[in-house]
Amino acid sequence: MTLTIYGDRISGNCLKVKWVADRVGMPWRWVDVDVLKGETRTPDFLRLNPAGQVPLVVLEDGRTLAQSNAIMLYLAEGSDLIPADAFDRARMFEWMFWEQYTHEPAIAVRRFHKAYLNKPDDEIDPALMVRGRAALARMQAALSAPGCAGWLAGDRASLADLALVAYTRVAHEGGFDLAEYPAVQAWVARVEATLPVRDFDRS
Amino acid sequence: MTLTIYGDRISGNCLKVKWVADRVGMPWRWVDVDVLKGETRTPDFLRLNPAGQVPLVVLEDGRTLAQSNAIMLYLAEGSDLIPADAFDRARMFEWMFWEQYTHEPAIAVRRFHKAYLNKPDDEIDPALMVRGRAALARMQAALSAPGCAGWLAGDRASLADLALVAYTRVAHEGGFDLAEYPAVQAWVARVEATLPVRDFDRS
């Protein structure tokens, strides 16, 4: 089957879906939806996803799925991106929910305000920097803890790493300095090396 | 094994864990952690969960897990709370991530400010009411759509229903009127009827 991905190329949440589809060999076609132009709020798009968010995927039978991490779980089922060990899998879920609850609402949102809405720093809610730095510090602690194999859950790259790298790798666009978090910086490079690199241009 | 649950009884996120443990027959002991008294921010608690949040569970071997929805997935594995069909399971995940990203940060947060911090309405961010009402409207639409079997994913209660009922059932404490969302109100009663009722007093 071919997956149809409605997404915005500036969105880490949308790239997650592309990465997993490429990694598991699922063909896809990409439909650009421009968040800045309000294209996630049109009546046509809201019929596809009442939550008004990208990414949104349409399966070949017409059924739709939303929420980046839920789509990743659907696509990755049976692959080594989901740990076989029950506890490692639980840890993967823990990081994925933390990503959406704590990391993304600080780091991705600050990046969007700074790099895409072009707001000056003093017009951006200062809590976003505080929370984003706390999130990066938590990742630094986890990735430099004794016994950490270099990945967030288990001993290889999992969906937890893909979910969290999506906005961590562009955190500098939100004004965060990854050099302060060296274990995170090394982990970003490590995860990026596992990512498929099919260009949009070849799609 | 016996699960140790660190939680606050006023927290829907913590009750989720108790409900699933009871439902799958996992014995537990409850350790009260008072969020209002700052007990999730003490050095001892932060050693257990660096994210400084409840619920947090400790397995018998000393390993810890955080994030309510991740803990539910761990405990419910192999039970009928997780749909066997891959697409129904994906839909369950979609609702669970939406709950943490969109529903909880509006409805649970407004309830906390109003009912536990006792803030007057005009001191509560008005966006919380707008976002909470939009979340309830989205659930109303899903639960009254043709083909909906009365549950959020598949044809029986799943973790999606348990995750979302946790704060929907107490939304009135946050100033939301469920009578405006009759399909949601009926669904709350339906889900509550599936919940185990082991009292804390008997723990």
- Whether B83 has a pLDDT exceeding 80, the answer reads yes
CA dist A140 and A187 (Å) reads 9
Q: Three-state SS across B146-194?
A: CCCCCCCCCCCCCHHHHHHHHHHCCHHHHCCCHHHCHHHHHHHHHHHCC
pLDDT band at B202 (very low <50, low <70, confident <90, very high): very low
CA dist B12 and B84 (Å) reads 26
CB contact under 8 Å between A87 and B63, yes or no, is: yes
Please report, for chain A, the start and end positions of each structural domain, with discontinuous segments joined by +. 3-79, 86-192
> At the fourth CATH level, which superfamily is domain B3-79?
Glutaredoxin (3.40.30.10)
pLDDT band at B196 (very low <50, low <70, confident <90, very high): confident
- Using the 8-state DSSP alphabet, how is residue A145 labeled? S
- pLDDT (tens place) for every residue of chain A, 203 residues total: 899 999 999 999 999 999 999 999 999 999 999 999 999 999 999 999 999 999 999 999 999 999 999 999 999 999 999 999 999 999 999 999 999 999 999 999 999 999 999 999 999 999 999 999 999 999 999 999 999 999 999 999 999 999 999 999 999 999 999 999 999 999 999 999 999 766 665 44
Which of B65, B94, B138 comes nearest A67 by C-beta?
A: B94
Identify the pLDDT of residue B203.
43
Give me the percent of chain B exceeding a pLDDT of 90. Answer: 96
CA dist A143 and A150 (Å) reads 6
Per-residue pLDDT tens for A61-118? 999 999 999 999 999 999 999 999 999 999 999 999 999 999 999 999 999 999 999 9
CA dist B93 and B82 (Å) reads 10
CA-nearest residue to B46 within chain A is A138
ipTM computed for the complex = 0.96
CATH code reported for the domain at A86-192: 1.20.1050.10
CB contact under 8 Å between B98 and A51, yes or no, is: yes
| Interface residues on B facing A, Cβ-Cβ cutoff 8 A | 50-51, 59, 63, 65-71, 73-74, 77, 86-87, 89-91, 93-94, 96-98, 100-102, 104-105, 138, 141-142
Contacts of residue B16 in chain A, CB cutoff 8 Å?
Answer: none
**Would the CATH topology of B3-79 be identical to that of B86-192?**
no
**How close A64 comes to chain B (CA, Å)?**
9
Contacts of residue B17 in chain A, CB cutoff 8 Å?
Answer: none
Max distance between CA atoms of chain B, in angstroms, equals 51
